[in-house]
Each structure stands twice: as C-alpha cells, then as structure tokens.
C-alpha cells in the first residue's frame, strides 16, 4: 500500500519570503500522480499543483513549484513570495496511474502553514 | 468550472438517528465519487468509492451498514450515517471526477459537511 509522509506538522514564513514544505511517499509503482492540496479555514480542498511521475520536469504554477525527486520519492512544495492568503493546511497526496488501478487519493497528515505579516 | 455541491454544510443530530449527506456534481457527470472523513487537525481518510449504478467499494475498517452510500445518478451520491453515535462526529468531504474527461482528469471536492452527534 502507498503511504505519504509529511514530517512538518507546522511551518511559518514571513510575508514575501519563500517556504518549502516537505513530502515523501512510498510506493512500488512506477506510474502515479502527486498533488499538493490547500485547505484554508473554509475547509474547501483546493488543488495547488500536480505532478505526473513520468515527467522529469518539475511542475510550476505561478508562485508554487515542486521539487520532484522520483528516485528519492520526495515531492516538496516551494511557495515563493508568500502571501497572507497562503495560510492554510497543505496536504500532499498520491494517486496511482495504473490502468484499472484505484483512483483514490492517499493523503499525508498535512502541514499547517502560518504566514506572518 | 466544475463544481461539486455538498449539502448540508453543517448538521447536528441526536444519537441514534440517521443523517443523509448529499454530494452533487453541478455541471458535469460523475461516474465515480469518493467519500472522505477528516477528524480535527487530521488528514483525509477515504471511506468509500461510490460508483454510479453499482455498489460502493468500502475501505478496510469502514462499516458498510453504518455508512450507506447510494450513487443513483450520474450527478448525485449520498452518504447516510445510520444510528449515529458521538464518535461519528467528524467532517465528511466528497469528491468527484468529471466522467467526460480522461482517467487523469482532476478530482473536484465539495465544501464538506460538519456532523455533530449529541
């Protein structure tokens, strides 16, 4: 079974600074997707960024980028120019890409990000 | 964009009663929906996968008879918590995948339901 580990229960960053959230995962599969979701106090799950495992290039979405290290099974999220609105719980998630495989997302325990003004 | 509506957003019920939570895809057909449970300050744990027109697939440790799932149409899945107990109090979130898309299309989440059993 796949597992996702987020070793940082809480992180804080100064507004306009950069912060990196860590995520490691364990799988025996070669094809899969990785995601970072944001959950603000409203509890709405918002997709931040996604990475296909077959792609070597790291995904980027505006101020959000990932460092995907497939061999190390590491998938960290970097938030640049942090804004107050970035404050939320961030969840790393894994999904199999096997045909007929489960579509379910396996989530890490989350990292609570605080942005200080 | 695609929207998933979950209702109610909050519900308080007495112990022993049943509660139904609805998850609707508003502008797409969802052949598959997922029900998650989230305890305070915890991660989301998949409870079951709801498939339109067939039985739901439950994760290990989830009681089928307690958490009844019905996916009767391509836009609606319901989760009924039967004979609710205080330990069922939690945040329940549904998600759905646009059936028009490929297998790789992203999931869309509802806003969640806060269930409190007194």
* Residue B103 pLDDT greater than 70, yes or no: no
* Residue A10 pLDDT greater than 90, yes or no: yes
CA distance A86 to A89: 9
Show residues of chain A in contact with B42, CB under 8 Å: 109-110
Average pLDDT, chain A: 93
Give the mean pLDDT of A33-49: 93
Show residues of chain B in contact with A108, CB under 8 Å: 43
From the list B87, B49, B111, the residue with the least C-alpha distance to A40 is B111
Give the mean pLDDT of B46-51: 91
pLDDT of B99 = 65
Residues B93, A45: C-beta atoms closer than 8 Å: yes
- Tell me the DSSP string of A82-105: --GGG-EEEEEEEEE-STT-----
**Tokens found for residue A45:** 């799950």
CA distance B112 to B83: 20
Residues A50, B46: C-beta atoms closer than 8 Å: no
Q: Which residue has better confidence, A8 or A2? A: A8
Q: pLDDT above 90 covers what percent of chain A?
A: 83
Residues B106, A103: C-beta atoms closer than 8 Å: no
- Angle at B113 (CA atoms; ends B111, B115), nearest 5 degrees: 165
Residues A97, B104: C-beta atoms closer than 8 Å: yes
- Give how far B24 is from chain A: nearest CA, Å: 15
Q: Radius of gyration (Cα) for chain A, nearest Å?
A: 14
Q: How confident is the model at residue B72 (pLDDT cuts 50, 70, 90)?
A: confident
Q: Are B108 and B3 in contact (CB under 8 A)?
A: yes
């Amino acid at each position: 079974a796949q597992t996702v580990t987020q070793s940082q229960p809480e992180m804080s960053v100064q507004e306009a600074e950069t912060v990196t959230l860590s995520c490691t995962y364990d799988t025996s599969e070669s094809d899969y997707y990785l995601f970072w979701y944001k959950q603000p106090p409203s509890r709405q799950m918002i997709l931040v960024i996604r990475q296909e495992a077959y792609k070597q290039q790291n995904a980027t979405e505006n101020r959000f980028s990932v460092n995907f290290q497939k061999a190390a099974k590491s998938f960290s999220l970097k938030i640049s120019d942090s804004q107050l609105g970035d404050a939320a719980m961030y969840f790393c998630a894994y999904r199999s890409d096997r045909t007929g495989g489960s579509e379910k997302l396996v989530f890490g325990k989350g990292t609570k990000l605080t942005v200080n003004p | 964009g695609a929207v998933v509506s979950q209702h109610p957003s909050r519900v308080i019920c007495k112990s022993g009663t049943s509660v139904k939570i609805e998850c609707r895809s508003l502008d797409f057909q969802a052949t598959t929906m997922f029900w998650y449970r989230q305890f305070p300050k915890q991660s989301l744990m998949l409870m079951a996968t709801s498939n339109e027109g067939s039985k739901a697939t439950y994760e290990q440790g989830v009681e089928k008879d307690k958490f009844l799932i019905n996916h009767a149409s391509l836009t609606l899945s319901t989760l009924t918590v039967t004979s609710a107990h205080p330990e069922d109090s939690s945040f329940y979130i549904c998600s759905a995948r646009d059936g028009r898309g490929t297998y790789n299309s992203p999931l869309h989440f509802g806003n969640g339901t806060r269930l409190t059993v007194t």
